[in-house]
Copies of this chain bind each other. A is one copy, B any other.
Amino acid sequence: MANMALVQLSSLPQPEVAGPKMGAPIAVVGVAGYAGGELARILLQHPRYSPKNLSFFGRADGETPDVSRPLSQVHPQLPIDDDVRVHPFSWGELERGGVKLLLLATPHEQSRLWIPEALRLGLRVIDLSGAWRLKDGRRRSMYHFTDKDGPLAEALQAEAVYGSPELHKNAIREARLVANPGCYATSIILALAPLLKAKLVDLERGVICDAKSGVSGAGKTPSPSTHFMYAADNLSAYSVFGHRHMGELLEQLHLSETQIQFTPHLLPIPRGILSTIYLRLTHEADGDAIVETMRQFYRDCPFVRIRQAGMLPQIQHIVRTNFCDLGAVVDEKTRRVVIVSCLDNLLKGAAGQAIQNLNLMLGWGETEGLL
């Protein structure tokens, strides 16, 4: 983070360090939201980035003021640096800045509309919205995009890579368009992928995912259900049998709707997701075997931590980190398994995973800026 707070610190002696190779310019759009703020925070600490090769923009939907202002006014927890500014969005500005890669923390509808243009201009894109995650158009209809997808959008959709580094690392490295996964979806997909691959899951009986998320997942726009008086001291289930992230589970895990179900709940905490996942094994295995299967699957994945039996994941262990923690308890007699999966919905569930994808796309170390 030595690049921060330049004005304040300029008179202080700085250690001389031959630093890493810096990246080509990149831009963040939608920096005023929660995920956008985390993108900014991470990139300003990232060894490949500094205010010189970063630019920040607001959204294009009137939420953004007409004039630029310091990022530290928008996110007062960030170090003060009047040279790091949020600008009203403009394609011209992007081109003038020589931007090569775009991180979009914008609403679904805006991402759906803009990305064809961005690709046409030769940019690579990481989109944090749900707009380009689903291959199946019927499922995508849950997002109610108002325009009809033409052949270009169809082709782009086919090309888009689902940005789960643990599942699609090589495709992400080459991708023009990465659809960054949903927060709930990430917590569930990472929990299930190893056991499904090992054919340990009794799909006839199906999988049940009971997931709980902090309020930041609902976004920054004030609404009745993000009111402190609604969320505090409360817990509520919502979108039972109808949450948009279901489509990601089906496509990424190759399951049918009868094989998996998912119920989200709103927790009275700022951030963090805990998913409790219920399944039966196809054949006998003990807890150690299950843990070992997970460990093998993720042996090259620096951001998935497999907990030993006796120390189940909990939200405080992963908040403000890019880790997804997994743990499992097995009832051997009945072959029942309970998996607990935790991540920070704004990091591994959004901005952190996006930077992990960026690192892969640009050839940086996967953990740079994230540990």
Contacts and interface: CB of A to CB of B under 8 A. Distances in A.
A220 interface: yes
A105 interface: no
A353 interface: no
A18 B9 CA distance: 23
Nearest to A4: B371
Contacts of A12: 300, 302, 365-367
Contacts of A367: 1-2, 5, 9, 12
Contact of A15 (B208, B236, B368): B368
Number of contact residues on A: which range applies? 35 or more
Contacts of A62: none
A233 B319 contact: yes
A338 B236 CA distance: 13
Interface in A174-225: 205, 208, 210, 212, 215-216, 220, 222-224
A224 B222 contact: yes
A320 B45 CA distance: 15
A276 B300 contact: no
A77 interface: yes
A140 interface: no
Interface in A260-289: 261, 263, 265, 267-270, 272, 274, 276, 278
A79 B371 CA distance: 8
Copies per complex of this chain: 4
Contacts of A210: 210, 276, 278
Contacts of A265: 212, 274, 276
Interface of A: 1-2, 4-5, 8-9, 11-15, 17-21, 34, 45, 47, 73, 76-77, 79-80, 205, 208, 210, 212, 215-216, 220, 222-224, 226-238, 240-241, 257-258, 261, 263, 265, 267-270, 272, 274, 276, 278, 299-300, 302, 305, 311-312, 314-321, 323, 329, 331, 333-334, 336, 338, 340, 364-368, 371
